[in-house]
């Protein structure tokens, strides 16, 4: 990024050889060494790998921004299906909740992504490959080059976008099942008397669901949804299993001990990189806690819950 960064090795030699670690006062020596190190660190922290590292934070935040509403939508549909009066729909909703919650996340990530990727390529193989041959050859899955998703000749951005899409879909399916279980329990926590009163006033089943049950259940679901949001934040390092280079991947690579084959060789700095990630996640989760606390107070206002009762007594 800077003009003096054109030859990193020469810059490193100039910095580290000329450090004035003299016998003078130690503070003067430390300040002088720090000032001489600034050009090296300015080049090191603006290298191409570090730019990718900074963009990986955007990737994680984008994943959370897309996955959270997607998982919430899938959870709502799963909970609604589990409460359905239609047998097959109810069985499907309960099977989705039970199956995904019963499988370790790491196994589901590995299995589902591979199965989905191969399923997409197999469907495309039926249309674009000659004869649509069966892709399995022994234990190997092979399709023609035209059936690859994305194509081998595609720009790198499409490979990253495809990996991001698989990551969002996988996270949404996994956390959607947990969300469905939370919402299902919250719907059951809404006092039955409120639903019966609405029915007595002539509301249909759909109207009771839309106007009474759904608005009331959020206050019961919010604590569980807040916990799932925290778990989702902590699960983002699993992105590396889906081929997405996340912040943990870059922290490990950039902080590891380098040799002269790298542009900016240094010692083992992983402690400092992971310490930075620790601060990042702690700040992020703390901000999330504050946001959920304010949302809970807002939704609890006027509700027949412990939080709503405490607010009523405080205002009295």
- 127-131, 222-226, 270-274: range with lowest mean pLDDT: 127-131
| Mean predicted lDDT score pLDDT of the chain | 78
The phi, psi pair for 266, rounded to 5°, reads -160, 175
Residue 212: its pLDDT value, please?
84
Task: State yes or no: pLDDT of 21 exceeds 70.
Answer: no
Domain limits of the chain?
Answer: 7-13+31-41+49-256+263-315
Burial class (CB within 10 angstroms; exposed 0-12, middle 13-18, buried 19+) of 35: exposed
Band (pLDDT 50/70/90 cuts) for residue 117 is: confident
Residue 8: its pLDDT value, please?
58
**φ/ψ bin of 196: left (φ > 0), alpha (ψ from -120 to 50), beta (otherwise):** alpha
CB 222 within 8 A of CB 89: no
Residue 77: its pLDDT value, please?
92
Task: State yes or no: pLDDT of 25 exceeds 70.
Answer: no
Task: State yes or no: pLDDT of 17 exceeds 60.
Answer: no
- 93-97, 176-180, 259-263: range with lowest mean pLDDT: 259-263
**Mean pLDDT across 278-300:** 87
- Residue 261 makes CB contacts below 8 A (sequence gap 6+) with none
Residue 178: its pLDDT value, please?
92
**Within a 10 A sphere around the Cβ of 88, how many other Cβ atoms?**
9
- 4-18, 108-122, 135-149, 160-174: range with lowest mean pLDDT: 4-18
Q: pTM for this one?
A: 0.76
Residue 282: its pLDDT value, please?
92
| Beta partners for residue 210, in sequence order | none
Report whether CATH 1.10.3720.10 matches the domain 7-13+31-41+49-256+263-315: yes
89-103: pLDDT as tens digits = 999 999 988 888 888
Dihedral over Cα of 184, 190, 193, 194: its sign: negative
Task: State yes or no: pLDDT of 73 exceeds 90.
Answer: yes
Task: State yes or no: pLDDT of 27 exceeds 50.
Answer: no
Residue 14: its pLDDT value, please?
46
The b-or-e profile of 214-238 (16+ CB within 10 A means b, else e) is bebbbbbbbebbbebbbebbebbbb
Band (pLDDT 50/70/90 cuts) for residue 22 is: very low
Sole residue written with tokens 């989702």: 232
33-72: pLDDT as tens digits = 554 567 767 777 777 888 888 888 888 898 899 999 999 9
**Mean pLDDT across 168-196:** 88
Tokens, residue 302: 């006027």
Residue 84: its pLDDT value, please?
85
Instruction: Give the span between the Cα atoms of 42 and 200, in whole angstroms.
Output: 71
**Mean pLDDT across 135-144:** 73
- 4-18, 123-137, 257-271: range with lowest mean pLDDT: 4-18
**Mean pLDDT across 148-161:** 80
Going through the chain in order, the beta strands assigned E by DSSP cover 136-137, 140-141
């Amino acid at each position: 990024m800077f003009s003096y960064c054109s030859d990193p090795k020469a810059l490193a030699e100039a910095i580290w050889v000329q450090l004035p670690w003299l016998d003078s006062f130690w503070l003067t020596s430390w300040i002088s060494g720090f000032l001489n190190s600034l050009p090296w660190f300015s080049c090191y922290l603006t290298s191409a790998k570090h730019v990718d590292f900074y963009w990986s934070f955007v990737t994680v935040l984008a994943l959370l921004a897309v996955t959270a509403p997607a998982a919430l939508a899938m959870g709502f549909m799963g909970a609604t299906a589990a409460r359905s009066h239609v047998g097959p729909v109810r069985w499907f909703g309960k099977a989705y909740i039970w199956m995904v919650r019963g499988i370790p996340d790491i196994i589901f990530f590995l299995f589902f992504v591979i199965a989905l990727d191969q399923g997409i390529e197999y469907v495309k193989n039926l249309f674009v490959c000659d004869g649509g041959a069966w892709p399995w050859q022994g234990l190997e899955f092979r399709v023609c080059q035209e059936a690859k998703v994305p194509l081998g000749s595609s720009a790198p951005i499409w490979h990253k976008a495809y990996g991001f899409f698989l990551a969002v879909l996988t996270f949404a399916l996994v956390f959607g099942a947990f969300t469905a279980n939370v919402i299902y329990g919250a719907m059951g926590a809404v006092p039955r008397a409120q639903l019966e009163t609405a029915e007595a006033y002539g509301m249909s089943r759909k109207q009771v669901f839309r106007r009474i049950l759904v608005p009331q259940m959020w206050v019961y679901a919010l604590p569980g949804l807040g916990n799932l949001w925290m778990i989702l934040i902590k699960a983002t390092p699993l992105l590396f299993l889906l081929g997405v280079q996340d912040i943990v991947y870059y922290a490990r690579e950039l902080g590891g001990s380098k040799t002269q084959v790298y542009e900016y060789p240094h010692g083992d700095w992983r402690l400092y990189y992971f310490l930075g990630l620790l601060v990042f996640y702690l700040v992020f989760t703390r901000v999330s806690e504050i946001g959920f606390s304010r949302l809970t107070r807002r939704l609890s206002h006027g509700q027949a819950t412990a939080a709503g009762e405490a607010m009523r007594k405080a205002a009295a």
